[in-house]
Structure 1
Amino acid sequence: MEQLNPSDLKAILHSKRANIYYLEHARVMQKDGRVLYLTEAKNENQYWNIPIANTTVVMLGTGTSITQAAMRMLASAGVLVGFCGGGGTPLFMGCEIEWMTPQSEYRHTEYMQGWIQFWFDDQKRLEVARQFQLARIEFIRKVWDKDRDLKAGGFYLDDLDIQNALNGFEKKIPNLNKVGDLLLAEAATTKQLYKIAATHTGSKDFSRNPEQGDLANDFLNHGNYLAYGLAATTLWVLGIPHGFAVMHGKTRRGALVFDVADLIKDAVVLPYAFICAKEKMTEQEFRSQILQKFIEHKCLDWMFDQVKAQACRTHDVDGDA
């Protein structure tokens, strides 16, 4: 069998990779130069291949284990690995997944250097936070305008309540002079979008509570952590440490992952959490739907574009993600 070099495994740009894996009750191992996961069927064990060259993140849920050889191959292909609780969310709510990132000394340093140039200046950091929120609104409009499944689920961009929520937030952003004020306005807008989504899908008395246990809240938790996986991948590839957040707080380790995930969460995860809950989908069906939409709307590309644009605001950077 032909052996692949680590450089061959990275041939697909991270911004174009298609797969995120969430596994539970499985053993991940290396066999014959491939990464496989083993599941126990009724009468036999079954092996399934993970195409690591086209994978961004592997999330290991309850009852999983992984071998050192498999981790070595995943690192060679630039795949991030995270241990998480059942359903792709942490065992303790509010605690981010601890991402294990491949050790690579050959990624671009320009993006990190560009990020650092503005990060220590409060006003410049606030401006980047504003730009992220404007990009978030732009992506909601872009996705909700063209997604036929969303329209079939009752989400129309030209509905007055949706227009009012997005336009109102957009007009406030330039006038908010503190990160705390921006966070409050962002939280109020997301709350409006929750209410709109609940109304449009007939979900009565919905309130956002990660520990509530109803389908909509569970799907929001699950989808958000899939988005965190994409965000962590984006930042790792560009070489920007997760602690250099622009909105979620300088004291919270990993907060930049949340900033970047917010670029796409409301556009994709939020509406589909409510639609899939209304249709009483299983967790696996919801996950498949979200991952399909991440690919359809090029969410990873959008994250790369926005982060690179902010890192390069003061200078040009060559190279591709």
Structure 2
Amino acid sequence: MEQLTDLKAILHSHRANIYYLEKCRVMQKDGRVLYLTEAEKQNQYWNIPIANTTCLLLGTGTSVTQAAMRMLAQAGVLVGFCGGGGTPLLMANEVEWLTPQSEYRPTEYLQGWLGFWFEEEKRLQVAKQFQQARLKFLNKVWASDKDLQNEGFNSKNTAVKAFLSEFNKKINQTEKVTKLFQLEAELTKKLYKFAAAATGQEGFSRQREAIDKTNAFLNHGNYLAYGLAATTLWVLGIPHGFAVMHGKTRRGALVFDVADLIKDTIILPWAFISAQENATEQEFRQQCLQSFTKHKALEFMFNEVKAAALAFEINNESNEL
């Protein structure tokens, strides 16, 4: 029991690592989880600090032992099987998550979420809350991150200030989720245009199946954001199917809702910047992970989801008093 407690000592919202591995074997050795790579002359072992890891993505040519999976489950690490580069190579090929099967997680967030979810008006309110939080996060990060500012991404820019203010007003006035979804698409389109101009990529077109570096980096980075969102929802015990904005017939739609909190702020600018600099996939991924840690993206997602889950419960208690 002491070992299990030690593994969970770091809160998920404060963990720093996401690992993507390929062409290796993940195993347990001497009470640690390691991955083994085959060098030309000798095999090499590398330690995975599972107590400080949120999720582990296993790409092509990987395997994992049962003993390693047991330790990963004890530490609450999400494990996903994926294609090369951390993203699916084939359409409709989703990352399959293996979630530790603990039935002793707190239920307050699930109960709070379901308490409002079946009422359309309250779902809309939470969806609007998420979109406003998304704008605030972008405004805050772009106003403080010197690396982004050096590349032209500054929320104090006149054009950026104008369309952030415009969309914030439109969000407040929206009365239907479908309209909110349209506004979200319009905002992202404007951000693509702004990012393309800032990095000298005028004429850019967002196409998920395109093979140019910018589109490939956007796909790759979005899956990293989905990993953080899946982690957040799993830890809080909220099923991925209870979306507030994305299609409610899609099993993982709430993952997309939560990932949208950070995608435009972090993934979008770095995808354009990295493509302009002709960075490798590994360099781009490392930049994204550093930005997640620097701006406490996971903690931000946790706070927003928790606040949404408990908002109406707090209001109900106030009314009862």
TM-score, normalised via structure 1 length: 0.95
Q: Distance in 2 between matches of 1:183 and 1:170?
A: 14
2:261 corresponds to which of 260, 263, 281: 263
Are 1:274 and 2:275 an aligned pair? no
Decide whether the 8 Å contact of 2:193 with 2:202 is kept in 1.
no
Decide whether the 8 Å contact of 1:93 with 1:211 is kept in 2.
no
Which residue number in structure 1 is paired with residue 55 of structure 2?
Answer: 57
Q: 1:93 to 1:199 in 2, by over 3 A?
A: farther
Decide whether the 8 Å contact of 1:165 with 1:193 is kept in 2.
no
Which residue number in structure 1 is paired with residue 100 of structure 2?
Answer: 102
Decide whether the 8 Å contact of 2:28 with 2:67 is kept in 1.
yes
- Shift of residue 6 of structure 1? 1.4
Which residue number in structure 1 is paired with residue 73 of structure 2?
Answer: 75
Q: Distance in 1 between matches of 2:312 and 2:288?
A: 35
1:220-239, aligned counterparts within 5 Å? 220-239=218-237
Which aligned runs of 4 or more in structure 1 are off by greater than 6 angstroms? none
- In the alignment, residue 160 of structure 2 is paired with which amino acid? I
Deviating more after overlay: 206-215 vs 138-147: 206-215
Q: Distance in 1 between matches of 2:92 and 2:271?
A: 19
Decide whether the 8 Å contact of 2:37 with 2:43 is kept in 1.
yes
Which residue number in structure 2 is paired with residue 219 of structure 1?
Answer: 217
1:33 corresponds to which of 31, 35, 44: 31
1:195-214, aligned counterparts within 5 Å? 195-214=193-212
Deviating more after overlay: 202-211 vs 52-61: 202-211
Please state whether the residue corresponding to 1:157 is helix, strand or coil: coil
% identical equivalent positions: 67
Which residue number in structure 1 is paired with residue 44 of structure 2?
Answer: 46
- Shift of residue 38 of structure 1? 1.1
Decide whether the 8 Å contact of 2:26 with 2:68 is kept in 1.
yes
Q: 1:80 to 1:8 in 2, by over 3 A?
A: same
Deviating more after overlay: 37-46 vs 243-252: 37-46
Q: Distance in 2 between matches of 1:96 and 1:160?
A: 40
Which residue number in structure 2 is paired with residue 12 of structure 1?
Answer: 10
Please state whether the residue corresponding to 1:313 is helix, strand or coil: helix
Q: What whole-Å deviation, never above 9, does each CA across 1:118-177 have from its counterpart, x for those lacking one? A: 000011001100000000000000100000000111112122221222112111112222
Which residue number in structure 1 is paired with residue 317 of structure 2?
Answer: none
- In the alignment, residue 209 of structure 2 is paired with which amino acid? E
Please state whether the residue corresponding to 2:312 is helix, strand or coil: coil
Are 1:247 and 2:245 an aligned pair? yes
Please state whether the residue corresponding to 2:26 is helix, strand or coil: strand
Decide whether the 8 Å contact of 1:96 with 1:254 is kept in 2.
no
Q: 1:93 to 1:197 in 2, by over 3 A?
A: farther
Q: Distance in 2 between matches of 1:272 and 1:253?
A: 29
Q: Distance in 2 between matches of 1:94 and 1:144?
A: 34
Please state whether the residue corresponding to 1:304 is helix, strand or coil: helix
- In the alignment, residue 135 of structure 2 is paired with which amino acid? I
Q: Distance in 1 between matches of 2:199 and 2:206?
A: 15
Q: What whole-Å deviation, never above 9, does each CA across 1:33-61 have from its counterpart, x for those lacking one? A: 11111112222211111000000000111
Q: What whole-Å deviation, never above 9, does each CA across 1:48-95 have from its counterpart, x for those lacking one? A: 110000000001111111111111110000000111111111123465
Q: 1:25 to 1:4 in 2, by over 3 A?
A: farther
Q: 1:96 to 1:180 in 2, by over 3 A?
A: farther
Which residue number in structure 2 is paired with residue 127 of structure 1?
Answer: 125
Gaps of 5+ in 1: 317-321
Which residue number in structure 2 is paired with residue 145 of structure 1?
Answer: 143
Deviating more after overlay: 69-78 vs 42-51: 42-51
Which residue number in structure 1 is paired with residue 285 of structure 2?
Answer: 287
Q: Distance in 1 between matches of 2:228 and 2:287?
A: 16
- Shift of residue 198 of structure 1? 0.6
Which residue number in structure 2 is paired with residue 319 of structure 1?
Answer: none
- In the alignment, residue 182 of structure 1 is paired with which amino acid? L
Decide whether the 8 Å contact of 1:144 with 1:150 is kept in 2.
yes
- Shift of residue 299 of structure 1? 0.2
- Shift of residue 251 of structure 1? 0.3
Q: Distance in 2 between matches of 1:224 and 1:79?
A: 20
Are 1:188 and 2:186 an aligned pair? yes
Please state whether the residue corresponding to 1:58 is helix, strand or coil: strand
Aligned length: 314
